[in-house]
Amino acid sequence: EVQLLESGGGLVQPGGSLRLSCAASGFTFSSYAMSWVRQAPGKGLEWVSSISGSDGGTYYADSVKGRFTISRDTSKNTLYLQMNSLRADDTAIYYCAKQIGGSYSSRLFDYWGQGTLVTVSS
């Protein structure tokens, strides 16, 4: 059974940093592209970042480019999102999502974690 378990969310001041983690199990982690998708309170879904399973390529939404870094540790089956220079509009639930294929081009999210809440406020 595929499981994705996020952690690392919390309250942070504007300009601060946070690192999210997503522990994966139930599938061959290194073979699949993985993504972060966020949802601001009461709002819709916004893709944030992806990392390819095939070549480790990374991709970012314009809204987070230069501030967020996605990475993965295949020895620990864990996905990360390092978030720097956080702003109030980064406040959201952050979901870790598995893509159906190894490449970023497989932009269908077939499994999602339960999410972790990031609140950016002074």
Partner 1 sequence: DIQMTQSPSSLSASVGDRVTITCRASQTIGTFLNWYQQTPGKAPKVLIFGASSLQSGVPSRFSGSGSGTDFTLTISSLQPEDFATYYCQQSYNPPPTFGHGTEVEIK
User: If binding means CB under 8 A, how many residues of this protein chain bind partner 1?
Assistant: 19
Tell the smallest beta-carbon distance from residue 75 to partner 1 (Å).
26
For the chain, helix (H) and strand (E) counts, in that order, are 0, 11
Interface positions, 43-72, toward partner 1 (CB under 8 A): 44-47, 59, 61
Taking the least distance from each CB to partner 1, the nearer of 29 and 36 is: 36
**Contact in structure between 38 and 97 (CB atoms under 8 Å):** no
State which amino acid sits at residue 101: G
Strand duo 45-51 + 58-60: pairing: antiparallel
Using CB under 8 A, list all residues that contact partner 1: 44-47, 59, 61, 95, 100, 104-110, 112-115
